[in-house]
Chain A
Amino acid sequence: MASLTLREVTKAYGATQILKGIDLEVADGEFVVFVGPSGCGKSTLLRAIAGLERVTSGRIAIDGRDVTQERASERGLAMVFQSYALYPHMSVYRNIAFALENLRMPREEIDARVRRAAKMLRLEPYLDRKPGALSGGQRQRVAIGRAVVRDPKIFLFDEPLSNLDAELRVATRKELAALHAEIGGTIIYVTHDQVEAMTLADRIVVLQAGKVEQIGAPLDLYNRPANRFVAGFIGSPKMNFLAAGSAPLAALAAPAGARTFGVRPEHAMIARDGEAADARLSVDIVERLGGESYAYGALQDGAPFCVRAGDALAARRGDSIGVRFDRARLHWFGEDDLALGA
Chain B
Amino acid sequence: MSSTQAPTQAAPKPAREGLGGRVVAAALGLFDAPMAWLQRALGLGAMPYAFLAPNVLFFGVFVFLPIAINLVYAVTGGVNIYPSQRPFVGADHFRALGDCASFLDPATCREDHFWRGVRNTLVFTFFQMIAMVGSALVTALVLNRRIVARGFFRAVFFFPVLLSPVVVALIWKWILQRDGLLNAALVAAGGEKILFLVEPTWAMAWAIFVSVWAHMGFYTLILLAGLQAIPADIYEAAEMDGTPPTRVFWRLTLPLLWPNLVVVLVLVLIRGVQTFDEVFVLTGGGPGTATLMVVQYIYETAFANPVQNFGLAGAASILLGALLFALTMLQLALARGKSKEARA
Which A residues contact B (CB, under 8 angstroms)? Answer: 50-52, 71-74, 77-79, 81, 83, 85-89, 98-99, 102-103, 130, 132-133, 146, 150
Contacts and interface: CB of A to CB of B under 8 A. Distances in A.
Contacts of B247: 102
Interface stretch (B12-20, B237-245, B287-295): B237-245
A-B pairs with lowest CB-CB distance, top 10: A99-B241, A85-B237, A85-B233, A73-B242, A72-B239, A89-B255, A79-B240, A102-B242, A81-B233, A102-B243
B237 A81 contact: yes
Given A50-B240, A102-B247, 13 more contacts: A73-B240, A79-B240, A87-B237, A87-B238, A88-B234, A98-B238, A98-B243, A99-B241, A99-B242, A99-B243, A102-B241, A132-B343, A132-B344
A65 B249 CA distance: 31
Given A83-B231, A133-B344, A52 B242 contact: no
A87 B234 contact: yes
Contacts of A77: 240
A74 B239 CA distance: 9
24 contacts: A50-B240, A51-B239, A52-B236, A52-B240, A73-B239, A73-B241, A73-B243, A78-B240, A79-B236, A81-B233, A83-B231, A85-B233, A85-B234, A87-B252, A88-B234, A88-B256, A89-B255, A89-B256, A98-B241, A99-B240, A99-B243, A102-B241, A102-B243, A146-B241
B342 interface: yes
Nearest to A100: B241
B129 to A, nearest CB: 24
Contacts, number: 61
Taking chain B's interface residues, is the majority helix, strand, or loop, or is none over half, making it mixed?
A: helix
A130 B343 CA distance: 10
B140 to A, nearest CB: 19
Nearest to B230: A88
Contacts of B344: 130, 132-133
Interface residues of B, number: 20
Contacts of A87: 234, 237-238, 252
B237 A132 contact: no
Interface string B241-277: 1111001000110011000000000000000000000
Contacts of A52: 236, 239-240
Nearest to B343: A132
Nearest to A71: B239
B252 A72 contact: no
Contacts of A130: 344
A103 B237 CA distance: 15
A71 B238 CA distance: 12
B238 to A, nearest CB: 8
A53 to B, nearest CB: 10
Given A89-B255, A89-B256, A132-B342, A81 B236 contact: yes
A89 B231 CA distance: 13
Contacts of A132: 342-344
A74 B241 CA distance: 9
Contacts of B252: 87
A78 B234 CA distance: 14
Contacts of A50: 240
A88 B256 CA distance: 8
B232 to A, nearest CB: 9
Nearest to B236: A52
Contacts of B343: 132
A55 to B, nearest CB: 16
A72 to B, nearest CB: 5
A72 B240 contact: yes
B257 to A, nearest CB: 10
Contact of A83 (B233, B239, B243): B233
B246 to A, nearest CB: 11
Contacts of B239: 51-52, 71-73
A16 B218 CA distance: 38
B231 A85 contact: yes
